[in-house]
Chain A
């Protein structure tokens, strides 16, 4: 009997120990396009329109699928920018409100219909009195078109003279504009998860937003989203905060509107420039002077939330470093964020 037992156990040992895995083959129903794709690539847009000689085309970057510099007769410059925004949560009204606010209390506003390509859109005209050294343009003409689930914005901005001169050219451009899209997924380069990638060292691609930065070790990089290509999580004990780094062209829409947008996110009332000036601190960085703001409010679930934001204008762009989250973590990492920005090279 003992022998039989030994043999059985021996077989069991062999069966357990020497299992080799096998290739499995099975069928599954056709996979429809996956419901939620966090790394969805936006379709490639091509925007063309009739432009006069004094509009110099700039390479399109990030969200701006077309960009021009308008050279005014008096030497000053204006700018034309075309931006599509798919699936944006902010409604048209909210965006208009932001722009209105940029111009402060004495904004003069008018609107009318305008033909954009073959469709009808709306053209808004904002102007106000800005102090001489402000980043906010004196006047902007903004045309908006909602087509095929995409919000299109065409913006002409600059001082009063330039915009007035360019107005007709702008409307001609709008009338003639063609919006073409290259089909998504045609490129055979699959999207790679940028979690662990080094930033591109290729200098000819200086305009490309890097996918990785040399951030402090305790910033844990997260997957990017369409609105924020660089995201990091920082923690302190049980509390967490999220750091996003974005780069927008030009002044990125202006200091005050962005700050008020942030304040709105944590249920704080908007402030005017004067109050803002009282609340900001300025820091010196290797790329120039940056502005630091620090607000505490509460988020949508009424949890105390704090935002520390650093805005750094540099060259043709403005960098926004924003840390949002619970007080403990924000507090613990504020210095780190400031130091990072101070030594920031791009």
Chain B
């Protein structure tokens, strides 16, 4: 019976995964899932409206979800909550701005900010309308904060700026399709159409110095000024280009298009505006069928004229909804728990269960990476977020391989820790913005991204794997009796083997980085902090290997050194970004600094435990035949 548990568990989780591949169900009849996969241009890349919604939400409330209190009058966090899909929320913002103004989506919980705005205590949820009376104050504080160097800002100043930016994004979203004061797209278009002819006539007459109707002219200018705001401040650009259809840069906002048309005087509405206008009306009049029909027809229009863009955004919308990384994270945690229990319990079915779950999570992890690569058209690592995801993948990969060779369950513990820890860090990083952002010019080269960056990431992963095995060695050895001489020797060899792998890839990756730099700006080595960090990893792994070969350090000492490798790699990967100097500074964090220090402290604690004399090691005290010398661990005192 117990034999079947692994398969059953796999089946349960597998079904859960497959179930989540379904598109989101319609809400009140409106198919927002389909709406979410309509393309638009934002921040230099074409993305589905679902991503537009999520990225905007991240800026507005640091979360890509909308779960807000329903009570429109209060501001505190009490009462019932309602949930909106990101695409649902976006639809409301762009089509029904007046209603969107009432949604309490802004979150404020910094105590100084709360007291400045004279709100109560505790986390507060506010709507745009509720914040209106405070705009002047927020404006003033934000302006002051903006002039301060980002590295010197206090958390209050950062929060104020965040609130300000969120308000700006929200305002821009509302005015992306039409000037929000009109309430709906049709009304705006109608007024423009009616004023256009008399206004243009008046303008022409005034140019020719004849009599003209000032009022008509003023009216047109007035309307055009409102559309000018749309042209300039539209956050996503909705309208696909009529010519140069596959040129991303030619996507426009309705404002731009309309202003051009006024000059051109061939006033034919682009097809997209028709469809959006129908969607807008349908949403306002609560007619889900018409909404869905408009969405479907727009998408078939897009399929005929812009098939690549449409299929790419569909993939991305699916990916957003499926969220393979989030799922992998949960499954890694399960696998970890099961693997730990299996180490204590030593039952095969537990080990197998954890192994199957680990494999499932790994498959999801891989699928996620492949999706991202196909959506972006890039190698797997393009920014800090994707580097974290990829290193996690490498750790799990190596762990799976080692488990296959030595099926004791220890590797599953290592792999699953690597898996969920990196996913948690990645999730945190994803909150700061679009993880698929476009690459700046200097990084825009797929070849080097695929070689240098991937190789370095594999090196990082290998060092962490070695370090994790060393941690397990120390914990098993000091706190349990499980570290038999055979197991100790095996672990020692695993760590050695992985460290060899690590030095190879770290060195190769560092060198490839140097060659890239030489090709790009003529300098192979510039002593840049990130380059130095990579060099330090190579040096440390080299020290480990030479210490081992020269028999300068005992087995326990070598394990301590491997754990230290975790610290070295974390410094090189995250620590250098916090210095903010040189060519490599494209990751900006500060709570991250705190967690980095916590991690470093934890590793140092383990090293301290590992340095305890053998008599404190439970395993060594009972297992008399150990060939461990008392050499201790010579470590540079950094």
CB atoms of A and B under 8 A apart anywhere in the complex?
A: yes
> Does the CB pair A335–B143 fall under 8 Å?
yes
> Does the CB pair A304–B146 fall under 8 Å?
no
Q: Smallest CB-CB separation from A298: which chain B residue?
A: B232
Roughly how many angstroms separate A218 CA and B143 CA in the complex, as a whole number?
Answer: 14
Residue B221 interfacial (CB < 8 Å): yes
Q: Smallest CB-CB separation from A306: which chain B residue?
A: B232
Q: Smallest CB-CB separation from B143: which chain A residue?
A: A332
> Does the CB pair A269–B221 fall under 8 Å?
yes
Residue A101 interfacial (CB < 8 Å): no
Residue A328 interfacial (CB < 8 Å): yes
Residue B2 interfacial (CB < 8 Å): no
A-B contact pairs, 18 of them (CB 8 A): A218-B147, A236-B146, A236-B147, A237-B146, A237-B150, A269-B221, A296-B232, A297-B228, A298-B232, A304-B232, A304-B233, A328-B146, A331-B143, A332-B143, A332-B146, A332-B147, A333-B147, A335-B143
Contacts of B232 in A (CB 8 A): 296, 298, 304
Roughly how many angstroms separate A297 CA and B228 CA in the complex, as a whole number?
Answer: 8
Contact mask A256-272 → B, CB, 8 Å, 1/0? Answer: 00000000000001000
- Chain A CB within 10 Å — which of B143, B221, B233 has the most? B143
Contact mask A206-241 → B, CB, 8 Å, 1/0? Answer: 000000000000100000000000000000110000
Roughly how many angstroms separate A269 CA and B150 CA in the complex, as a whole number?
Answer: 38
Q: Give the distance to chain A from B546, nearest Cβ to Cβ, in Å.
A: 21
* B residues 386-434 in Cβ contact with A at 8 Å: none
Q: Smallest CB-CB separation from A236: which chain B residue?
A: B146
Roughly how many angstroms separate A82 CA and B154 CA in the complex, as a whole number?
Answer: 56
15 extra interface residue pairs, beta carbon distance < 8 Å, beyond A236-B147, A297-B228, A332-B143: A218-B147, A236-B146, A237-B146, A237-B150, A269-B221, A296-B232, A298-B232, A304-B232, A304-B233, A328-B146, A331-B143, A332-B146, A332-B147, A333-B147, A335-B143
Roughly how many angstroms separate A172 CA and B354 CA in the complex, as a whole number?
Answer: 104
Contacts of A304 in B (CB 8 A): 232-233
* A residues 263-300 in Cβ contact with B at 8 Å: 269, 296-298
Q: Smallest CB-CB separation from B206: which chain A residue?
A: A105
Contact mask B119-154 → A, CB, 8 Å, 1/0? Answer: 000000000000000000000000100110010000
Q: Give the distance to chain B from A329, nearest Cβ to Cβ, in Å.
A: 9
Contacts of A237 in B (CB 8 A): 146, 150
Roughly how many angstroms separate A269 CA and B147 CA in the complex, as a whole number?
Answer: 32
Contacts of A298 in B (CB 8 A): 232
Contacts of A332 in B (CB 8 A): 143, 146-147
Roughly how many angstroms separate A241 CA and B304 CA in the complex, as a whole number?
Answer: 43
Roughly how many angstroms separate A237 CA and B151 CA in the complex, as a whole number?
Answer: 11
Q: Give the distance to chain B from A155, nearest Cβ to Cβ, in Å.
A: 24
Contacts of A328 in B (CB 8 A): 146
* A residues 287-346 in Cβ contact with B at 8 Å: 296-298, 304, 328, 331-333, 335
How many residue pairs, one in A and one in B, have C-beta atoms under 8 Å apart? 18
A interface residues, tally (CB under 8 Å): 13
B interface residues, tally (CB under 8 Å): 8
Roughly how many angstroms separate A296 CA and B221 CA in the complex, as a whole number?
Answer: 14
Q: Give the distance to chain B from A295, nearest Cβ to Cβ, in Å.
A: 11
Q: Give the distance to chain A from B538, nearest Cβ to Cβ, in Å.
A: 25
Roughly how many angstroms separate A296 CA and B146 CA in the complex, as a whole number?
Answer: 20
Roughly how many angstroms separate A236 CA and B164 CA in the complex, as a whole number?
Answer: 14
Roughly how many angstroms separate A230 CA and B273 CA in the complex, as a whole number?
Answer: 47
Q: Give the distance to chain B from A94, nearest Cβ to Cβ, in Å.
A: 16
Contacts of B143 in A (CB 8 A): 331-332, 335
Contacts of A236 in B (CB 8 A): 146-147
* B residues 202-237 in Cβ contact with A at 8 Å: 221, 228, 232-233
Contacts of A333 in B (CB 8 A): 147
* B residues 227-276 in Cβ contact with A at 8 Å: 228, 232-233
Roughly how many angstroms separate A280 CA and B450 CA in the complex, as a whole number?
Answer: 56
Roughly how many angstroms separate A269 CA and B228 CA in the complex, as a whole number?
Answer: 12
Q: Which 6 A-B pairs have the closest CB atoms?
A: A304-B232, A332-B146, A236-B146, A332-B143, A332-B147, A218-B147
Contacts of A269 in B (CB 8 A): 221
Contacts of A335 in B (CB 8 A): 143
Roughly how many angstroms separate A332 CA and B143 CA in the complex, as a whole number?
Answer: 5
Contacts of B228 in A (CB 8 A): 297
Roughly how many angstroms separate A218 CA and B146 CA in the complex, as a whole number?
Answer: 12
Q: Give the distance to chain B from A63, nearest Cβ to Cβ, in Å.
A: 31
Roughly how many angstroms separate A124 CA and B91 CA in the complex, as a whole number?
Answer: 59
- Chain A CB within 10 Å — which of B143, B147, B150, B221 has the most? B147
Q: Give the distance to chain A from B37, nearest Cβ to Cβ, in Å.
A: 29
* A residues 2-40 in Cβ contact with B at 8 Å: none
Q: Smallest CB-CB separation from A237: which chain B residue?
A: B146
Roughly how many angstroms separate A76 CA and B147 CA in the complex, as a whole number?
Answer: 50
Contacts of B147 in A (CB 8 A): 218, 236, 332-333
Roughly how many angstroms separate A331 CA and B146 CA in the complex, as a whole number?
Answer: 10
* A residues 69-113 in Cβ contact with B at 8 Å: none
Roughly how many angstroms separate A237 CA and B221 CA in the complex, as a whole number?
Answer: 33
Contacts of B146 in A (CB 8 A): 236-237, 328, 332
Q: Give the distance to chain B from A116, nearest Cβ to Cβ, in Å.
A: 30
Q: Give the distance to chain A from B224, nearest Cβ to Cβ, in Å.
A: 9
Roughly how many angstroms separate A328 CA and B161 CA in the complex, as a whole number?
Answer: 12
Q: Give the distance to chain A from B585, nearest Cβ to Cβ, in Å.
A: 14
Q: Give the distance to chain B from A317, nearest Cβ to Cβ, in Å.
A: 30
Q: Give the distance to chain A from B54, nearest Cβ to Cβ, in Å.
A: 23
Roughly how many angstroms separate A103 CA and B535 CA in the complex, as a whole number?
Answer: 72
Contacts of B221 in A (CB 8 A): 269
Q: Smallest CB-CB separation from A274: which chain B residue?
A: B214
Q: Smallest CB-CB separation from A296: which chain B residue?
A: B232
Q: Give the distance to chain B from A35, nearest Cβ to Cβ, in Å.
A: 26
Q: Smallest CB-CB separation from A269: which chain B residue?
A: B221
Q: Give the distance to chain A from B232, nearest Cβ to Cβ, in Å.
A: 4
Q: Smallest CB-CB separation from B140: which chain A residue?
A: A335
Q: Give the distance to chain B from A271, nearest Cβ to Cβ, in Å.
A: 9
Q: Smallest CB-CB separation from B229: which chain A residue?
A: A296
Roughly how many angstroms separate A333 CA and B233 CA in the complex, as a whole number?
Answer: 20
Roughly how many angstroms separate A310 CA and B584 CA in the complex, as a whole number?
Answer: 41
Roughly how many angstroms separate A335 CA and B146 CA in the complex, as a whole number?
Answer: 13
Q: Smallest CB-CB separation from B233: which chain A residue?
A: A304
Contacts of A297 in B (CB 8 A): 228
Roughly how many angstroms separate A304 CA and B256 CA in the complex, as a whole number?
Answer: 12
Roughly how many angstroms separate A269 CA and B143 CA in the complex, as a whole number?
Answer: 29
Contacts of A296 in B (CB 8 A): 232
* B residues 147-180 in Cβ contact with A at 8 Å: 147, 150
Q: Give the distance to chain B from A268, nearest Cβ to Cβ, in Å.
A: 9
Roughly how many angstroms separate A298 CA and B233 CA in the complex, as a whole number?
Answer: 11
Roughly how many angstroms separate A298 CA and B225 CA in the complex, as a whole number?
Answer: 12
Roughly how many angstroms separate A304 CA and B262 CA in the complex, as a whole number?
Answer: 19
Roughly how many angstroms separate A34 CA and B83 CA in the complex, as a whole number?
Answer: 68
Q: Give the distance to chain B from A29, nearest Cβ to Cβ, in Å.
A: 26
Q: Give the distance to chain A from B618, nearest Cβ to Cβ, in Å.
A: 50
Q: Give the distance to chain B from A334, nearest Cβ to Cβ, in Å.
A: 8
Q: Smallest CB-CB separation from B221: which chain A residue?
A: A269
- Chain A CB within 10 Å — which of B150, B228, B233 has the most? B228
- Chain A CB within 10 Å — which of B228, B232, B233 has the most? B232
Roughly how many angstroms separate A237 CA and B146 CA in the complex, as a whole number?
Answer: 7
Q: Smallest CB-CB separation from A333: which chain B residue?
A: B147
Roughly how many angstroms separate A167 CA and B146 CA in the complex, as a whole number?
Answer: 57
Q: Give the distance to chain A from B396, nearest Cβ to Cβ, in Å.
A: 37
Q: Give the distance to chain B from A204, nearest Cβ to Cβ, in Å.
A: 39
Q: Smallest CB-CB separation from A303: which chain B residue?
A: B232
Contacts of B233 in A (CB 8 A): 304
Q: Give the distance to chain A from B10, nearest Cβ to Cβ, in Å.
A: 49
Roughly how many angstroms separate A328 CA and B142 CA in the complex, as a whole number?
Answer: 11
Q: Smallest CB-CB separation from A304: which chain B residue?
A: B232
Q: Give the distance to chain B from A235, nearest Cβ to Cβ, in Å.
A: 9
Roughly how many angstroms separate A244 CA and B634 CA in the complex, as a whole number?
Answer: 63
Contacts of A218 in B (CB 8 A): 147
Roughly how many angstroms separate A60 CA and B524 CA in the complex, as a whole number?
Answer: 58
Roughly how many angstroms separate A236 CA and B165 CA in the complex, as a whole number?
Answer: 13
Roughly how many angstroms separate A94 CA and B143 CA in the complex, as a whole number?
Answer: 38
Q: Give the distance to chain B from A185, nearest Cβ to Cβ, in Å.
A: 38
Q: Give the distance to chain B from A229, nearest Cβ to Cβ, in Å.
A: 26
